[in-house]
Structure 1
Amino acid sequence: MKNQKILFALMAIGLLTAGGYGLYRLGVSRGMHSGMTMSAPVASAAASGDAAKADSAGKKVLYWHDPMVPGQKFDKPGKSPFMDMQLVPVYAGDAGDEGKVSVSSRVQENLGIRTAEVIKGNLGQAIVAVGSVAYNERDVAQLQARSNGFVEHLYVKATLDAVHKGQALVDLYVPEWVAAQEEYLTAKRLHGAGADGLADAARQRMRLVGMSDAQIRQVDTSGKVQARATVTAPTGGVVTELAVHEGMTVAMGAPLFRINGLGTVWVNAEIPESLAAQISIGNAVEAHAAALPGTIFKGKISAILPDVNPVTRTLKARIELANPSGQLIPGMFVTANFVSPARKDVLLVPMEAVIQTGTRSVVMVDQGDGKFAPVDVDLGTETNGQSEIRAGLRAGQKVVVSGQFLIDSEASLKGTATRMGDMTAASPNIEASSAAGPISGPTHHGVGKVESIGKDEITISHGPIATLQWGAMTMGFAAPAGGLPKNIAVGDTVAFDIRPMSDGMFAIARIVPTVDVPAPASAPAARHPAKSGNGVAK
């Protein structure tokens, strides 16, 4: 009895297994006849000739694809399984144009693609720099004692006191001057032969002891000894150095006063060394200070100092500003606007049209009829939201200024596929591989932030990858067989393509840095997720 129960159980299991397999085959058979199926690579579809069809205009369609997921190709038209949009046909004439992309008008509208014309214009770069006000060191008067003497009275008793030209500064008693004056007056009173010679000799002695011509004339006119000498300011400004006090004894050559003029001042502006070529001595400058709103000070560059700050990578431009009212005070911060001579008839494009890859600059050129092609350009200066194009474009062409990153990604993938196809045709035995096994299968595109870089692995916090039905996560990928590009570093935002390997892992097929697409704000960590039967990371 027991054996009969076991026999009946085995027969039931066999019937269920056969029924399940029959239902599976029926589902596969119906699935092959209804809905869309992903085709083999383009080369296989073209070889068989079954997938290639002709549209109403007679053009030969090689396959259909979703521009947002360019790695997947379909052999029938329909709605994209990834995005709410129709699949776009790829024609035989387009497939041979490496790097070019065709985008329908509807897709352009959905992606928000905008273009701008390459124009010729005048490029006058305005450079704005911040600097501090300093004394004009060419407008300085240094007063010293001409003879030994005593300070009897000071008229200016503190530094930074303002003085005007001719103002009395100090009274000095100089015994040596008194003796020379008395000798001169005595010689002047003599009469007879040789009296004039003695008077001339006495006058010369007064000069030798340090008396000025004005002081000698005063003695000669008054006929009296001037016991005290008054030192006056030779120029207007402020007293920046006061080295004497009342009652002091001073020696010949000792400093008394230093006076700095304020009629003109210097501004030492910090200029980035990358902009040094845009300025030159004599350039006009307009400056304004936050402490003096509404007041514009005009001047010019008087010198460019030959010294670069190794920390800030800036050099100093010395600006000389007119300061007739003395409003600019040393130590103030001012903003200086440099106006460089405008260059005429240069090619200009909006700055957002340029894609910086780290090693080259690329723009997407609109070739009409929905076709776009990447073009390498040589950039010049950038100002007022425009970039100068030195080579690569001509006036009248249209460049993409919005959505160009998506088009560039498709163009790069298309060019890579074409080049790989050419290599395989030339050397059938060549196969992309990694340490874990050969890379095969479709390409999947993602954007994320590089978290770490190992010897054979790179960890990326990426956003959702629609083709794999993955959400945002942090995971590791095998590095390319040839190694990572040198311009990839930890913290970079990157666009990357991955392909599955034989062990179920994924390897980087292509990776480029980008500043156009932000990295995901946050992503849960997942290291080497396993793959289920439907390709979803668990």
Structure 2
Amino acid sequence: MKRTWLPWLLSALFALAFGIVLVLLLSQRGGSANEIGGVTQDHSGRRVVAWIDPMYSQGPPHLYESNHPGVAPDCGMKLVPQYAEEATTTHATSTIDGYANVSVAPQRQQLIGVKLATAELRDLSRNIRTTGRVTADERRVAQVRTKFEGFIETLYVNFTGQPVRRGDPLLAVYSPDLLATQNELLLAERNHSDLGRTLADAARARLRLWDMSAADIARVVRTGQATRDVVLRSPVSGVVTTKNAVAGARVMPSDTLYEVTDLSHVWVLADVYQSELQAVRVGTPAQIIVGGQTLPGRVTFIGPVVAAQTRTATVRIELENAAGLLKPDMYADVMLQQPAGSSVAIPDSAVMNTGTRSLVFIARGDGTFEPRQVTTGAKGDGFYAIRSGVRPGERVVVDANFLVDSESRLKSALSRF
């Protein structure tokens, strides 16, 4: 009776052990119910055809693949799924020498921090702010000198800053040579012979060369009396900015007696850094801000040299100043406007300058990044204008592009072996 239950006990123990072994085997395989064609699937809803080394796109030695999740033996990194659409997609060869199209799985893109931006039409007009100094227009400055030796008899303009008009008297100068020439003219006028007329013409020419006006010469002939002094008049309308004439002083032809400046049209000299100089052109609109007022102007000249100490170049802006608001040596705020218009633009972080060319990486939508050479234009507000190489709507890599760049170059190098 005791031996009848022993076979049943042994059968039960054997069945329990077999069930435990079966459960362990199923757990180690990850559940065969989640396999397609012997390949373990993930929970993305896309068909996994293989589990590969995350650096598979770089070529040897990262070519390990498996039907099940695990760890790559060459680098110790977890295997990532390769989906059916990725495995069957063929990628065109890059046209950039030394670079290859590179495929990066979405999980790895997220891991290394790849970010994309869309190329779009954008107005990259910008303003350059700097300071400037008001100066006189050098073309509107006139100096008053004598062309003979003499002595100042009378001053009609007595102080610096006095406004004058063209033709106004400035000073009267007594000159023995001038007086002697007038007497020669009177004597020649009394001689009605051909010689007398020749001498009179010579005397008139000499007086005109000494800046005696035609009206003063005619008055001498009409009255028959030589004038003791000659009046020098202002050659332009403006303001006396320099006065060296003193009553009673002896004057020489080399002496500058007055300097008269027309301040109705002035210059503003602005300092622009060499890094911003390429954005400034002759004709660029400018705004000059002085005393709370904004005055319009335009760039008319860009200096040919850069100052060694400040690394700036002088940019000249011309303005009308009929109201006299701007005065020489005043400081002003200057805003140079660079109208660029709409153009294809991408973030400046997307452009990689190699020294000989500029590159960007275009996302093709299937995990593939295509290196492409571009021609850049103006830069402003963190964007580059793209003249060629990128079309509106294309997406470019703006973050982690250095990692994509290194992988692209490595893949190109390995493909040559």
TM-score higher than 0.5: yes
Deviation at 1:218, TM superposition (A): 3.1
Contact 2:279–2:378 under 8 Å retained in 1: no
CA distance in 1, matches of 2:322, 2:103: 64
Corresponding letter in the other structure for 2:404? A
Which among 401, 404, 411 is matched to residue 404 of structure 2?
411
Do residues 394 (structure 1) and 395 (structure 2) align? no
Q: Does 1:298 align with 2:308?
A: no
CA distance in 2, matches of 1:176, 1:251: 13
Following TM superposition, by how much is the alpha carbon of 1:397 offset from its aligned partner in structure 2, in angstroms?
Answer: 0.9
Aligned residue for 2:240, secondary structure, equals: strand
Change (3 A) 1:207 1:251: farther
- Matched residues, number: 355
The whole-number CA distance in structure 1 between the counterparts of 2:187 and 2:128 is 70
Partner of 2:17: none
CA distance in 2, matches of 1:170, 1:91: 98
Kept after mapping to 2: 8 A contact 1:119/1:348: yes
Counterpart position of 1:255: 256
Closer, same or farther: CA 130–419 of 1 in aligned 2, 3 Å: same
Q: 1:321 to 1:182 in 2, by over 3 A?
A: same
Does structure 2 retain, via aligned residues, the 8 Å contact 1:362–1:374? no
The equivalent residue for 2:49 is 60
Q: Distance in 2 between matches of 1:410 and 1:341?
A: 36
Distance in 1, matches of 2:348 and 2:205, equals 72
Name the counterpart of 2:105. Answer: 102
Deviations 1:36-85 (A, max 9, x none): 9xxxxxxxxxxxxx99634443232424879xxxx9x99649xxxxxxxx
Shift of 1:421: 7.4
How far apart, CA to CA, are the structure 2 residues paired with 1:227 and 1:243? 22
Q: Which residue of 2 aligns with 1:115?
A: 117
SS, match of residue 396 in structure 1: coil
Name the amino acid aligned to 2:251. V
Radius of gyration: which is bigger?
2
Q: Which residue of 2 aligns with 1:217?
A: 218
8 Å CA contact retained: 1:51, 1:62: no
Q: 1:90 to 1:399 in 2, by over 3 A?
A: same
RMSD value, Cα: 4.6
Structure 1: how far apart are the matches of 2:205 and 2:234?
20
The question of 1:351 aligning with 2:344 is answered: no
Whether the 8 Å contact between 2:156 and 2:170 is mirrored in structure 1 is: yes
1:231-254 Cα offsets, whole Å, 9 max, x none, are: 221112233433332221123453
Q: CA 1:222–1:287 in 2, change beyond 3 Å: closer, same or farther? A: farther
- What is the alpha-carbon distance in structure 1 between the residues aligned to residue 389 and residue 295 of structure 2? 42
Q: Does 1:373 align with 2:369?
A: yes
Question: 2:39·2:48 contact (CA, 8 Å) conserved in 1?
Answer: no
Superposition map of 1:247-286 within 5 A: 247-273=248-274, 279-281=280-282, 283-286=283-286
SS in 2 for 1:368: coil
Alpha-carbon deviation of 1:182?
A: 4.0
* C-alpha distance in structure 1 between counterparts of 2:109 and 2:309, whole Å: 51
Distance (Å, rounded) in 1 between the aligned partners of 2:406 and 2:278? 39
Alignment of 1:118-157 (within 5 A): 118-120=119-121, 130-157=131-158
Deviates further, 152-161 or 351-360: 351-360
Offset, 1:150: 0.8
For residue 178 of structure 1, report the CA deviation from its aligned partner. Answer: 2.9
Which structure 2 segments of 5+ residues have no match? 1-23, 31-36, 56-61, 71-77, 92-100
Q: Distance in 2 between matches of 1:305 and 1:207?
A: 44
Write the letter of the residue equivalent to 1:386.
Answer: F
Selected match of 1:324 from 322, 327, 339: 322
State TM-score, norm by structure 2: 0.66
Structure 1 residue aligned with 2:236: 235
What corresponds to 2:247 in structure 1? Answer: 246
1:430 aligned partner: none
Instruction: Indicate the percent of aligned positions where both proteins have the same amino acid.
Output: 27
Alignment correspondent of 1:465: none
